[in-house]
Amino acid sequence: MTATAKLPTEKTIEGAMSLFEAQAVLFAPRPNRLALQGLELPAPSRQSASVNVWRNHAFEPLVPLTTPYFAFCGWQADFRLGGYDDSLMFADRQEADAELLWLDSDRFLARMAFDEWLPWLEGRLHALRSMSKAPVIIATWLDEAPQRARLQSLVDALPAVYFADLGSVCSEAGVPLKDSRSAALAGTPVANAAQVQLARELACHWLPGALLPPVKAVALDLDHTLHAGVLGEEGIQGVQLSPGHEALQNYVKGLQQRGVFVALVSRNERADVEALFAQRQDYPLRWEDFSATEVSWGDKAAAVERIAKALRIAADAVLFVDDNPGELASVTMQLPSVHAVYAHPDATLTCRAIHYYPGLWRWKVESDDAKRIQDLKANAERDALAEHATDPAEYFRSLQVSLVYRIDPVAQLTRLADLCNKTNQFNLAMRRFNQAEVAERLERRDACIASVQLSDRLSDSGVIAVIVAERQGERLLVEELCVSCRAMGRQLEDTIILEALRRMPIFAGCQELAFRVAHGPRNQPALDWLARLLGCDVHPEAGLHNVPAQLVRDFTPAAGVTLNQE
């Protein structure tokens, strides 16, 4: 779609304002329980997730505290509470999007040594994994650092299992984790103040980090957002960098190290803004830190849409931050999938709102995530070379393009699952395999997973493709096919995909390939690719689409590209 200017209605602004006014309560350093429960926010408009809660102490006090955080970001969780069970038998389990183990570790360690409890817990996790491929979050505490490290090592070795350290969260917030009075009155040793902090962490970090697509870019306004004051009125030296704004800029700069794009969307004269970042040496952010910039007097929704296009991501992967509620309402009305945060006059509050916005925080940051920023910067030089190239093979050779294929790469488990869940545009089946589902297929003899890594002399793009397939008689069924947006537009899709399929051991002897297809809101590029492969003028419908296996056997990879297998 193309954004067209629309004025936000009074109702739209009113609904937006209720969300933005709530930020002061939601993202206070120590949120107040009564204030949280008194918030009246619009009903969630996005997805709902089901969560099985397996516990040996009360979880009920946290449920109402999570509700406003879910509402703020437009989604919700359906918590299904099991009975108190120290044995973790997972009785009467229902299918769910996530499994939460809400555990009072003191109850276990009062009866057994830690060295006994840890292998017992590992056994219960394997039992749960045999029933469920959903992400598992273990939310508990351990008083000793070596014990916490060993539990972390255990979950790191298990696919889609995560350790939510309740003690660390409370320590960072400066609140006590436990209170004996709470144990007697509420059925949990977790103190009242800790419950509020943990509810925010659960709703904003832990569950979204396991379930929601990631936010890939933060697009920020300038005036009254990254500094106090208006550049056009007060001048370069007149705008103020308060301690809060300095902390905000430092935090945003740190997002880049996690592979999050930072963009600038400002109504100003471009020359003035460039001069600001050149002259204000006290600003942590520099002009070159912005992966995309839109500085003009035009419509901001159109600017945000251009930002997304320049970054090769969908609008629903962008978090827009602005100090004008009307502007925020206008952008989200024209681009409903865009996320939004109000830039409060207190920049420290803005910083916390961004920090806790669901989808920005991830359980683990892969090395390939950080490569995203440099890879985008290299695209300008690639495009310049392509503009003057007359021979595609010579173009690839001049860039020293290399593709590395890996078959069933267990070491890349996290990256493979991330690609399945992060890729929106070139995602043919939209299956969204998580780590546990990927791990299960890595172990099956009738299934195979191929990864493809792309690099050239300008940058290493990392693992940019994952293909999940299984053998069904003489047919190879492609269950999942994802190619990262960073690899799109380089005329390498056929070589990436078809060569990977040809290298799969289970492809040998196949007479037919079947591609599973689903229609998503933004996966048109994947559908277009399959239409070309099928030789169709229309896009393939949802379902299975067959092609002769000989087509893959006869395929000739792009000339000038180095192909390797590890």
Residue-level pLDDT at 13: 62
Q: Give the torsion sign (CA, 31, 36, 38, 42).
A: positive
- Segment 400-407 mean pLDDT: 96
Here the tokens at position 353 are 């709102």
Q: Of all residues in the chain, what percent carry a pLDDT higher than 90?
A: 78
Instruction: Specify the pTM.
Output: 0.87
Q: Is the pLDDT of residue 130 over 90?
A: yes
| 213 burial type by CB count under 10 A (0-12 exposed, 13-18 middle, 19+ buried) | middle
Q: Is the pLDDT of residue 3 over 70?
A: no
pLDDT digits (tens, 9 = 90+) for 175-216: 999 998 877 788 999 999 999 999 999 999 999 999 988 899
d(CA 462, CA 436): 22
d(CA 90, CA 94): 9
User: What 3-state DSSP class applies to 38?
Assistant: coil
d(CA 493, CA 280): 44
List the one residue out of 256, 274, 266 whose CA is nearest residue 311.
Answer: 256
List the one residue out of 32, 18, 48 whose CA is nearest residue 200.
Answer: 32
Residue appearing with tokens 């962008």: 318
Q: Of all residues in the chain, what percent carry a pLDDT higher than 70?
A: 96
pLDDT digits (tens, 9 = 90+) for 520-537: 888 899 999 999 999 887
Residue-level pLDDT at 1: 31
**Cα end-to-end distance, the chain, whole Å:** 41
Specify the higher pLDDT residue, 47 or 285: 285
pLDDT digits (tens, 9 = 90+) for 304-362: 999 999 998 889 999 999 999 889 988 988 999 999 999 999 999 999 999 999 999 99
- Segment 501-514 mean pLDDT: 96
Residue 17 — pLDDT band, cuts 50, 70, 90?
confident
Ranges of H-type helices in 132-242: 145-156, 166-173, 180-186, 192-201, 207-211, 231-234
Neighbours of 332 (CB within 10 A): 22
Residue-level pLDDT at 4: 40
Residue 45 — pLDDT band, cuts 50, 70, 90?
low
Across all residues in the chain, what is the average pLDDT?
92
Q: Give the torsion sign (CA, 79, 80, 84, 85).
A: negative
Q: Which of 99-103, 385-389, 465-469 has the lowest mean pLDDT?
A: 385-389
